[in-house]
Structure 1
């Protein structure tokens, strides 16, 4: 008797959930007060359920909630209903053949397939990826655009909770102000403060090099995506002038961008996001390329909820080249006013400890999803209803 039964139905839920505190990003992205999320529920004929999630954020992502819904409802679900979940690679190849790009929509399906396979086999999805290497992973805490005076009390509060590394969002203020912000924080906390700066494409090359000239005199660990994503030659120029690591985020979507960044040695580290990069399968491919190129990775996040964070954790705990000088972004659910999973039960003292539960390792509150959803779509036998 087979351990797997065929896929019977897809369900999609569109939710908008406020952040616990509005998040000020670069001048390109503005202020985020709520987060859109598309939840995917895939059910097998035997009743086994797997979950996926997509986390669009326009203009950070080209995908929107409605484009994700359309891709899954109109293209992927009709072809996947009736198939078996364990052929994950074949399903990814099929989705690629049906639609180019659309990484978030593909990623939600991919996460659900890993969740299903792990549950059918009664093992964590991490075992499907080679097995756990990291029993615990430290977390970082992000700080929105602002001043050092905004940062000081929050850093002190989070340090008391166990956080040792922090991501400063920049890219909105004049470079002189950003330099003052960094200088004030190091003067107050000392050189042991582990910091990464993320400009979210907010700077020109001139501004990036001016910031780098100053930051080279500090213990800054990492600068992420200072310039526009298509200007990879500018990204390389920043790397060549920096004494700290430089990473790509928006410049990296899929395998082609990864290969180009590696071939041209544009960065020191890669920022991986399981939703943005197309799910566990595609993100693991990027991680494998980074490993072959002797480049570390940072498991980063969008404004994510527990399903995406759990999928990212299933992958991250298996990677030998996780950056060890900073924490990783498994704290997204702590920034939300609500969540529909129990992922936060794995977080304590600014550390996440993966459990041994099957699939993605989380419990999902489906009643809460139904209560919060303002759009629900059910897909069965190649048909859909709203």
Structure 2
């Protein structure tokens, strides 16, 4: 089997409401789709959104990396998964989302070649349900409380609450939601918006609340601040933007700078990179979150297969993009039941 042709194009799905964090405001999910075709008639897909604030990539740079650097190295070569994955990972620096799109398509081809769904190719025996957190976008405390209440009443009991408003009201945002929804599990995500002093002030202000975790409170490069916050916090600290690959995970855990690691296929270059981070975290006895950017159905599907294959390694799942779409596409390869997915 060889890769005989490829196709790259864009797609977009409107969101029901704007998605707002400390880093950006987004009104639709736009992503690059990749098709790989083989000489024996097989076809597989990958996709990647542009998240410049995190990975440095634009839609144009993803397309350029695919067309000029990655895909020409794959066409016509014998299909040997690990060899092709190594080619993708090493053919150019950075461009982790472009690499992720190719990586997931290669894994899907390998699974098809074995006559298996991807989760079984990765080692799982059955497709167990996957429950995701659902995001509450950054807004005024009252608006966020109302939105969180609306989500909880719809059965979404794991809420990832965006903070980092720069207005001194972040503790109020969380306290209002926690008081209104004592049975909800609250994950707080600052998206690098605070400094050390602001992080510690938030922890002190919310120390009496049953928060599940705090995610990436300070800039990714400030491991010393992250270490001090982790040592001080009564809540587990989750490293997100500080960890792109397995070496980053090792560095963060060696420094005692986080209790958990957030794995996103777009940061680590796909399933191969995710598996490498899982291996590192296993040696440290550290669990992970499986997260995502605002993504299309193809890449969310790849992440769901990974979640099903490694349920014991992921303490949290944050793959809520489809729940934020204005309308679910009719041809999804998974079903949606509240905040629960089934492949």
Q: Give your verdict on TM over 0.5.
A: yes
Q: Distance in 2 between matches of 1:162 and 1:309?
A: 21
Partner of 1:185: 177
Are 1:267 and 2:258 an aligned pair? yes
Q: Distance in 1 between matches of 2:52 and 2:327?
A: 21
Partner of 1:343: 332
Q: Distance in 2 between matches of 1:193 and 1:239?
A: 23
Q: Distance in 1 between matches of 2:139 and 2:199?
A: 18
Partner of 2:82: 89
TM-superposed CA distance for 1:66, in Å, is 1.5
Are 1:168 and 2:161 an aligned pair? yes
Query: 1:88·1:110 contact (CA, 8 Å) conserved in 2?
Result: no
Residues 285-364 of structure 1 mapped to structure 2, 5 A cutoff: 285-324=276-315, 326=316, 328-337=317-326, 342-343=331-332, 345-354=334-343
Query: 2:107·2:118 contact (CA, 8 Å) conserved in 1?
Result: yes
Residue deviations 1:30-76 (CA, integer Å, cap 9, x gap):
31113330100000012211000111112222111122111111111
Query: 1:274·1:283 contact (CA, 8 Å) conserved in 2?
Result: yes
Q: Distance in 2 between matches of 1:296 and 1:134?
A: 21
Q: Distance in 1 between matches of 2:298 and 2:330?
A: 7
Q: 2:142 aligns with which of 149, 152, 156?
A: 149
Q: Distance in 2 between matches of 1:97 and 1:173?
A: 39
Structure 2 portions without partners, runs of 5+: none
Query: 2:216·2:238 contact (CA, 8 Å) conserved in 1?
Result: yes
TM-superposed CA distance for 1:211, in Å, is 0.5
TM-superposed CA distance for 1:257, in Å, is 1.0
Residues 203-214 of structure 1 mapped to structure 2, 5 A cutoff: 203-214=194-205
Residue deviations 1:128-182 (CA, integer Å, cap 9, x gap):
222247712212110111133212332333223321110111112333x111122
State the secondary structure of the residue aligned to 1:219.
Answer: coil
Query: 1:333·1:339 contact (CA, 8 Å) conserved in 2?
Result: yes
Q: Distance in 1 between matches of 2:126 and 2:188?
A: 28
Partner of 2:20: 24
Query: 1:236·1:267 contact (CA, 8 Å) conserved in 2?
Result: yes
Q: Distance in 2 between matches of 1:35 and 1:347?
A: 18
Q: Are the structure 2 counterparts of residues 134 and 51 from structure 1 closer, same or farther at C-alpha, using a change threshold of 3 Å?
A: closer
TM-superposed CA distance for 1:323, in Å, is 4.3
Partner of 2:103: 110
State the secondary structure of the residue aligned to 2:309.
Answer: coil
Between 1 and 2, higher relative CO (CA 8 Å, sep ≥ 6) is seen in: 1
Q: Distance in 2 between matches of 1:294 and 1:285?
A: 14
Partner of 2:34: 40
Query: 1:306·1:339 contact (CA, 8 Å) conserved in 2?
Result: no
Are 1:235 and 2:226 an aligned pair? yes
Q: Distance in 2 between matches of 1:259 and 1:214?
A: 31
TM-superposed CA distance for 1:194, in Å, is 0.6
RMSD: 1.9
Partner of 1:377: none
Q: 2:206 aligns with which of 207, 215, 221?
A: 215
Query: 1:261·1:267 contact (CA, 8 Å) conserved in 2?
Result: yes
Query: 1:297·1:321 contact (CA, 8 Å) conserved in 2?
Result: no
Give the structure-2-normalised TM-score.
Answer: 0.94
